[in-house]
Structure 1
Amino acid sequence: MEQSEVLKRVIGILTEAGDYRRRIEQDEERGSRNTEIGIVTALLNETMPHIEIPADATPQEMATLVAREVGGAIQQLVAAFSLAFVALAQVHDSGEQDVSSADVLQDLALRAEEAKGDGPQTSRE
């Protein structure tokens, strides 16, 4: 999966997490709780490689194989979450009160689409 696609998925997770938090707050008032977040599972299923381990592989060979196959996917996820965190933190630290976290994430998603080369060529300033 391309890094821009991973970033857009991470943005989706963060957006969904905000919605989820609001639902929990509302549910606490009503006494109901739904704790399922399927979007994270979907991202992991799509970004993590499927690994076939030979039946005769030693524990060391299995560890090497898993590290090699999973390492790149983990790096992509960490990079995307880190970028989103930094973008959100910069706006927070600047004290801009007229920019919401949703605005920051939307702008980041637009930039990811532009970086991919198939999205709109304008971004919010």
Structure 2
Amino acid sequence: MEQNEVLKRVIGILTQAGTWIHDLPAADDSDLDTEQGIVSDLLNDVMPVVAIPSNANAEEIASIVSEALGGRILQLTTAFAMAFWELAEVHDTGRTDLSSLDVLQALALRAETEPGA
């Protein structure tokens, strides 16, 4: 999955998080399971299937998993960090003309139109 696509999916999760927070007291377990499915879907799409040989020892398993998942975890972490930084920067400058949703929408638009955004 390309970094821009991961970033757009992360923005979707962060946007949805606002709804989760506002609806949490009224939500029942089935609502939360449905909402958390968005996060599971992202992880399933980004994370590769890792084949572990049946005779691998703990050290070999750790190495295989680290090699297979390291780049993908970096990709997710980078996307969340970029979104956080955009939100923090607007907050730190004291801008009151932009909501968090405005910032996330602008970031999503950049991810859609700029390669490597």
What secondary structure, in the 3-state scheme, does the structure 2 residue paired with 1:116 have?
Answer: coil
1:59-98 aligned at under 5 Å gives the runs 59-98=58-97
AA of the residue aligned to 1:35: L
- Report Cα offsets for 1:27-51 as digits up to 9, x if no partner: 2xxxx53433211111111111100
RMSD: 1.4
Is structure 2 residue 12 aligned with structure 1 residue 12? yes
Instruction: Give the Å deviation of 1:24.
Output: 2.0
What secondary structure, in the 3-state scheme, does the structure 2 residue paired with 1:104 have?
Answer: helix
CA distance in 1, matches of 2:62, 2:37: 28
Taking only the aligned residue pairs, the percentage that are identical comes to 53
CA distance in 1, matches of 2:77, 2:65: 17
5+ residue gaps, structure 2, are: none
- Report Cα offsets for 1:48-78 as digits up to 9, x if no partner: 1100111111211111100000000100011
Find 2:32's aligned residue among 13, 30, 35. Answer: 35
4+ aligned runs moved over 3 Å, structure 1: none
Instruction: Give the Å deviation of 1:116.
Output: 3.4
CA distance in 2, matches of 1:60, 1:72: 19
> TM-score with structure 1 length normalisation?
0.84
AA of the residue aligned to 2:3: Q
Instruction: Give the Å deviation of 1:114.
Output: 1.4
| Matching residue of 2:21 | 21
5+ residue gaps, structure 1, are: 118-125
Q: Which range moves more in the overlay, 70-79 or 33-42? A: 33-42
Instruction: Give the Å deviation of 1:11.
Output: 0.2
| Matching residue of 1:123 | none
CA distance in 2, matches of 1:58, 1:86: 40
Kindly indicate whether structure 1 or structure 2 has the higher relative contact order, using CA contacts under 8 Å at least 6 residues apart. 2
Instruction: Give the Å deviation of 1:96.
Output: 1.1
Choose 1 or 2 for highest CA Rg. 1
> TM-score with structure 2 length normalisation?
0.89
CA distance in 2, matches of 1:86, 1:19: 21
- Count of residues in correspondence between the two structures: 112
The structure with the greater share of residues assigned to helix is 2
Q: Which range moves more in the overlay, 66-75 or 15-24? A: 15-24
